[in-house]
Structure 1
Amino acid sequence: MPLSEHEQRVLEQMEQALYAEDPRLASTLKSTQSGPGAGLDRRRVALGVLGALAGLGLVLVGVMTQYIWVGAIGFLGMVLGGAYAATPSRKPQSKLGVVGGTARPRATGARPTGKGPRKPRPSGGFMQRMEQQWDRRKEEGPF
């Protein structure tokens, strides 16, 4: 679900405040954040390293037997194995799903046992509460 214009403005203000307070942290976070599924997959790295080692073995065999074409194939295997290990996977690292999908709806008006009366929730939505907290922190200062 896309963000509303107000939420986008609040997010931009938060980013600007982060850049103003700690530009080094902001630049570090921006450089490491490449989107969902970014990063190296262990299986990809392992297979790439194994391919590169097999290519190195073929290069050595090619040098010992003086067959240049075996060494060339080995070199190609080393390059392709290293490239395969270095490229990030295209799919997300973890798949999120429903945890405990056997939830049952409660009866209307029923409260869980062992709990006292519920505290009233603050008025407004989540983003309004976050914006209020942000404004309060900004007014109070850094300490």
Structure 2
Amino acid sequence: MALSEHEQRLLDQLEQQLHADDPKFAHSMASSTPRSMSTRRIVLGSLVTVAGLAVLLLGITNQFIPVGVVGFLIMGAGVYYATTKSKLSGSAPGGGKDTKTASASRGNGFLSSLEEKWDERKRDQP
């Protein structure tokens, strides 16, 4: 379900206010962060895990414990690789200082208007 234009504007204003109030948190919660799960890492990690499972089973069937332990470690490494996020460094999304100060001044008025609307709703209720 798509948002209406009014809802989209409100969401954009809330996002700008969040960036102005706590830029570190906003950056960590951004959906387009470079540190995200990639299909390539999942596939490669899964293949390494399957290879480790094969080595583990080989060690068990031949009753050679060191080979089984190595297979288990390979499986663990594959799962770890598949579940960790890539550490690519990219440019952070966002604007310069001018946009932050402008959004902060608009955001304060926006929050004030939301508080006023909330107070009006509470007064209207019996």
TM-score category of the 2 structures, normalised to the smaller one: 0.5 to 0.7
- 2:111 paired with 1:137: no
Instruction: Name the TM-score, length of structure 1 as normaliser.
Output: 0.48
Give the structure with the larger helix fraction. Answer: 2
Counterpart-to-counterpart distance in 2, 1:34 and 1:75:
36
Q: Superposition pairs for residues 119-130 of structure 1, below 5 Å?
A: 125-130=102-107
Determine helix, strand or coil for the equivalent of 1:141.
helix
Q: Superposition pairs for residues 21-100 of structure 1, below 5 Å?
A: 33=29, 36-91=33-88
CA-atom RMSD in angstroms:
3.9
Report 1 or 2 for greater relative contact order, CA contacts < 8 Å, sequence distance ≥ 6: 2
Number of residues of Structure 1 aligned to a counterpart in Structure 2: 92
Structure (1 or 2) with the larger CA radius of gyration: 1
- CA-CA distance at 1:65 after TM superposition: 2.2
Runs of 4+ deviating beyond 4 Å: 94-97
The unaligned stretches of length 5 or more in structure 1 are 1-6, 13-28, 98-124
Q: Deviations over 1:6-64 (max 9, x none)?
A: x89x726xxxxxxxxxxxxxxxx99x849943442222122111111110011111122
Query: Relative to 1, partners in 2 of residues 1:34 and 1:89: Cα closer, same or farther, differing over 3 Å?
Result: farther
Q: Deviations over 1:89-125 (max 9, x none)?
A: 1125x8789xxxxxxxxxxxxxxxxxxxxxxxxxxx4
Q: Deviations over 1:55-89 (max 9, x none)?
A: 00111111222233322221110111111122221
Aligned to 1:122: none
